[in-house]
C-alpha cells in the first residue's frame, strides 16, 4: 500500500504501542474536545459518516451510534496497529454499523460523493500536503455535507503540553525545538488564518473557526500519572530519545514539581486551547 505521508506512517507505527497504553489518559485530556466537534457535525440517523485519523476507534463509536438506524460510520487511519484495537473497541461496545480501513486520508481513494459528514478529533494536522488531503476529503462528501474537526491552538496556549516541555528543558539544558508553522504535526493548523485558506483551496465553503479555551484539572493523586504520560508522547518524549534512566527520572521529577506548584484546592489546573472547525462541501 502506497501512502503520501510516509514519515507520519512510520512515526505512528513506531509509537502505536505507547499511544495505546495511554488511551484512558488521552480520553480524559482530549475526549471532551472530540465530543464538541461531533456535536457540531450534527450527524443524523441514516447518514454515512467518515472519521479521519480515527486511531483506536473511540472517536468512531459516537458518530456510529448517532446515525442509527440505517447509517454507518467508517474510521480511517494510517496505522494498522491502532485499527486492530479499534475493531476490538467496536466489538466490546456491541456496535455493528461501523467499519475501519487502513488508508492515507491524503492519497487513498475514499469514494466519490459517498458521505454525509466527515469528522476528526486531532487527526488532520499531520498531512504533508493539507490542501490535497482536504480536497480528497471534499471529493468523498456529498454536496452540502459538513466537515467538523478539532485541532490545537498554539502550544504556548496549551499549558498541559507546554509546561512539561519547559520542565524538560530546565533539566536537559537544550532549547525546545519548535517545528515550522506549516510542518506536519500537532500544531500545523494552530493559526486560524491558515485554516481558512487551506480549506477554501480544497473546495470548502462557509468555514467557521471557533476558539475554545478551558482547563484540564488534575487531582493531586493523578499528577504522577500525568507526568508519566508526558514522558511517553509529544515534545518531552522526543527530547528524551536516547536519554539514560537517571536523566528520564530527573525530567519526570521536574514535571511533577511544576505541576504540584500549580495545585489549588487539591487540583493542578493547566490550560487547554483548541479550535473547533466546521465547513461545508
Top-confidence residue, 249 or 27: 249
Mean pLDDT of 142-146: 98
Residue 235: which pLDDT band, with cuts at 50, 70 and 90?
A: confident
Between CA 24 and CA 35 the distance in angstroms is 15
Residue positions counted in the chain: 281
Under a CB-based contact definition with an 8 Å cutoff, are residues 141 and 118 in contact? yes
**Distance in angstroms (rounded) separating the CA atoms of residues 255 and 226:** 9
pLDDT at residue 39, as a whole number? 96
pLDDT confidence of 154, banded at 50, 70, 90? very high
| Structural contact between residues 1 and 37, judged by C-beta atoms closer than 8 angstroms | no
**For all residues of the chain together, what is the average pLDDT?**
92
pLDDT of amino acid 18:
74
Question: Locate cell 472519521: which residue?
Answer: 51
Helix, strand and coil in the chain, % to nearest 5: 45, 25, 30
256: pLDDT strictly greater than 90: yes
Confidence tier at 202 by pLDDT (50, 70, 90): very high
Residue pair 51/75 in contact (Cβ under 8 Å)? The answer is: yes
Q: Per-residue pLDDT tens for 58-80?
A: 999 999 999 999 999 999 999 99
Q: Is the pLDDT of residue 1 over 70?
A: no
Is the model's pLDDT at 142 over the cut of 70?
A: yes
pLDDT of residue 238: 87
Confidence at 2, pLDDT banded by 50, 70, 90:
low
Radius of gyration (C-alpha) of the chain in whole angstroms: 19
pLDDT at 24 over 80: no
What is residue 180's DSSP assignment? P
Four-CA torsion 73, 87, 76, 189, nearest 10 degrees:
100
Query: What domains does the chain contain, in order, with CATH numbers?
Result: 6-155+182-216+272-280 (3.40.50.150)
Q: Residues of the chain with pLDDT > 90: what percent?
A: 79
pLDDT band with cut points at 50, 70 and 90 for residue 166: very high
Amino acid at each position: 500500500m502506497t501512502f503520501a505521508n510516509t514519515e507520519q506512517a512510520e512515526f505512528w507505527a513506531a509509537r502505536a504501542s505507547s499511544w495505546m497504553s495511554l488511551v484512558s489518559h488521552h480520553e480524559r485530556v482530549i475526549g471532551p474536545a472530540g465530543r464538541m466537534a461531533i456535536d457540531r457535525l450534527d450527524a443524523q440517523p441514516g447518514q454515512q459518516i467518515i472519521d479521519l485519523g480515527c486511531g483506536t476507534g473511540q472517536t468512531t463509536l459516537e458518530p456510529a451510534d448517532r446515525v442509527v438506524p440505517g447509517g454507518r460510520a467508517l474510521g480511517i487511519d494510517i496505522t494498522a496497529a491502532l485499527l486492530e484495537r479499534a475493531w476490538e473497541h467496536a466489538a466490546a461496545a456491541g456496535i455493528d454499523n461501523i467499519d475501519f480501513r487502513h488508508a492515507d486520508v491524503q492519497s487513498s481513494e475514499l469514494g466519490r460523493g459517498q458521505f454525509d459528514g466527515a469528522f476528526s478529533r486531532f487527526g488532520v494536522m499531520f498531512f504533508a500536503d493539507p490542501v490535497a488531503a482536504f480536497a480528497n476529503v471534499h471529493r468523498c462528501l456529498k454536496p452540502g455535507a459538513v466537515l467538523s474537526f478539532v485541532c490545537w491552538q498554539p502550544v504556548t496556549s496549551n499549558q498541559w503540553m507546554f509546561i512539561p516541555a519547559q520542565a524538560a528543558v530546565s533539566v536537559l539544558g537544550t532549547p525546545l525545538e519548535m517545528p515550522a508553522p506549516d510542518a506536519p504535526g500537532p500544531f500545523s493548523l494552530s493559526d486560524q488564518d491558515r485554516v481558512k485558506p487551506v480549506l477554501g483551496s480544497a473546495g470548502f465553503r462557509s468555514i467557521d473557526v471557533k476558539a475554545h479555551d478551558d482547563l484540564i484539572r488534575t487531582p493531586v493523586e493523578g499528577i504522577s500519572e500525568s507526568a508519566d504520560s508526558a514522558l511517553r508522547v509529544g515534545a518531552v518524549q522526543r527530547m528524551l530519545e536516547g536519554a539514560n534512566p537517571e536523566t528520564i527520572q530527573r525530567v519526570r521529577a521536574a514535571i511533577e514539581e511544576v505541576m504540584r506548584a500549580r495545585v489549588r484546592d487539591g487540583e493542578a489546573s493547566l490550560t487547554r486551547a483548541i479550535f473547533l472547525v466546521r465547513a461545508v462541501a
